[in-house]
Amino acid sequence: TEIPAIVEVEWLDSMQDHGWDTPMELKDAMLHRSAGYLVADEPSYLAVSNSIGIGEDNLGSVIQIPRMAVLNLTELRPSMKRD
């Protein structure tokens, strides 16, 4: 089995505010950076986990990011064979 690559994803998040706003009060989309194990690289989304189980297929705190929201994907460490 393999240990997934570690990546950093720069992405835009949607926002919602409650109540009424004027056009001057509207804000730009929020820019985020998330890093972790790339556990899915699909045509419509990426999934990044902050931890993986050793010897098991357990994932911790997975975020799925729509591909259209991804601005940049940087590989920090390639995938590796698990001993």
d(CA 48, CA 64): 7
pLDDT digits over 15-64, tens only? 777 777 776 666 777 899 999 999 999 999 999 999 988 777 788 899 99
Global pTM value: 0.82
Q: For position 13, what pLDDT does the model report?
A: 87
3-state secondary structure at position 23 = helix
Closest by alpha carbon to 60, among 72, 51, 71, 69?
51
3-state secondary structure at position 5 = coil
